[in-house]
Amino acid sequence: MRAAKSTSASKTQNAVAFINARLIDPSSNRDEPGGLVIKDGLIADIGGHLRRNAPEGCEVVDCKAHVLAPGLIDAQVFTGDPGYEHRETLKTASHAAAAGGVTTMVVMPETNPVIDQVALVDYIQRRARDNAIVRVHTMAAMTKGLKGEEMTEIGLLKRAGAIAFSNGKSSVASARVMRNVLLYGKDFDALVVHHTEDPSLSQNASMNSGEIATRLGLPGVHKAAETIVLERDVRLVALTGGRYHAATISCAESLDVVRNAKAHKLPVTCGVSINHLTLNENDIGPYRTFFKMRPPLRRDEDRAAMVRGIGSGDIDIIVSSHDPQDADDKRRPFAEATDGAVGLETLLPAALRLFHSGELPLLSIFRAMTINPARLLGLHSGRLVKGAVADIILVDLGQPWVVSKDELRSRSKNTPFDENKMQGRVLRTLVAGETVYQYGGGQRS
């Protein structure tokens, strides 16, 4: 399902050696000085022996001791393609991805129309192939129109290339429908990705329930709304044996549920958005709508629990939950503003905050954005090993910079990190050995 532009030109290219790098590869627990050689879009060789010397005949790139890591795999990206192209297209999202070091993105079915039919999966794949500069995979809807009522054609959709099945930003309220999706999906080894938030408890809610919501006079949703659905789903997984992934958990109680399910050897995994690792409800301050999202930002205790979950491996993956929204839909009274924040370009720098603050080791951060999502989704990328596809990023861990929303490549500018200081940025992004982004050097279009 490769969606990057044809790489046939690179098939005959000379080998390129990246030397003098710090190699980071969670799949092999590698963190050492070295280098690698790319040939025909694959990693032809890798190791400490390539630290100083490149094989003869290679084009040589001196990495100046910066980090070479697998390209990031972002399992939750919303675009507006099709239907809301003014927010984001596959093309603009892919440019944002490339600049953020994301070489594979999974796009969500919450478009107009909803991606719930074979022809629409095919449409996304073709649009991506022709327009996107990184790999794009399609998450298909698990129920028709994301209404939570009728199951989609999971078998045919999977055959058409759907990588997993989601109900977008809403939970399937009916336990019966959810059971059937898991049970039927199991026959096709389908991965069911679910946003867990009880719709009746979260109705009209615009932020986390608690002191801040109380003071601001905003209707809040308690984190129990998340945990209730998650616990129900885990029971259904125990019943059906279907493969289940909680899309973005946000509180310590949910982490307990997942940990417990894993202890019982259930096929349950979970993810967390970068926002819930680096922000909390205090950031909302005086009704800042750019911090309005689903699940809502919680208390800092919950954020810290999410970080520990990444460290312990109980939380499997980190997603950007990139969700472009029109400024007009954000510049409204808080309760009436849309949810969501863009995140592709700030995913890695924001995650590196946790490294610089000493909260997480580098390998844990990269593991949750490379090999773990690769294994979850059955992809061959996400690792720096001999013979793997050369989806690679070069990262300067220390470079300081300030986020400016106007410089974002995303068509929408709703970032919660505007004017934030960051440390670390992507210098170069390669998909199948071909450079799709280079810092300061523009990018391929």
Choosing from 33, 145, 210, 311, the residue that interacts with another protein (CB under 8 A) is 210
**Distance separating alpha carbons of residues 179 and 175, to the nearest angstrom:** 6
Q: Which of these ranges, 37-45, 67-75, 212-220, 356-364, lies near another protein under the rule CB under 8 A? A: 212-220
Comparing CB distances to another protein, the nearer of 215 and 265 is 215
Is residue 218 a contact residue for another protein (CB under 8 A)?
yes
* Strands 67-70 and 392-402, sheet pairing: antiparallel
Q: Which of these ranges, 100-108, 204-212, 354-362, 410-418, lies near another protein under the rule CB under 8 A? A: 204-212
Question: Minimum CB separation from another protein for residue 416, in Å?
Answer: 17
Per the structure block, which two tokens stand in for 322?
Answer: 């990139």
Residues whose CB is less than 8 angstroms from the CB of residue 272 and which lie 6 or more positions away in sequence, other chains included: 248, 249, 250, 306, 309, 310, 315, 317, 318, 319
* DSSP H or E segment with residue 89: none
Neighbours of 57 (CB within 10 A): 8
Is residue 419 a contact residue for another protein (CB under 8 A)?
no
Question: Minimum CB separation from another protein for residue 115, in Å?
Answer: 29
E strands present in 173-299: 191-194, 207-208, 220-221, 243-246, 268-273
Say which residue the tokens 């690679």 belong to: 392
Question: Minimum CB separation from another protein for residue 328, in Å?
Answer: 6
Question: Minimum CB separation from another protein for residue 281, in Å?
Answer: 12
The phi, psi pair for 153, rounded to 5°, reads: -80, 75
Question: Minimum CB separation from another protein for residue 336, in Å?
Answer: 5
Comparing CB distances to another protein, the nearer of 217 and 441 is 217
Query: Restricting to residues 286-345, which ones interact with another protein according to CB under 8 A?
Result: 286-287, 328, 331-336
Q: What is the DSSP letter of 231?
A: H
Number of residues that bind another protein (CB under 8 A): 21
Comparing CB distances to another protein, the nearer of 222 and 375 is 222
Is residue 214 a contact residue for another protein (CB under 8 A)?
yes
Query: Restricting to residues 87-146, which ones interact with another protein according to CB under 8 A?
Result: none
How many angstroms separate the Cα of 297 from the Cα of each of 36, 200, 350, 380? 40, 19, 15, 33
Choosing from 29, 215, 419, 442, the residue that interacts with another protein (CB under 8 A) is 215
Per the structure block, which two tokens stand in for 36?
Answer: 């690698």
Is residue 211 a contact residue for another protein (CB under 8 A)?
yes
Burial tier of 9 (Cβ tally within 10 Å: 0-12, 13-18, 19+): exposed
Is residue 213 a contact residue for another protein (CB under 8 A)?
yes
Residues lying near another protein in the complex (CB under 8 A) are found at 209-211, 213-220, 222, 286-287, 328, 331-336
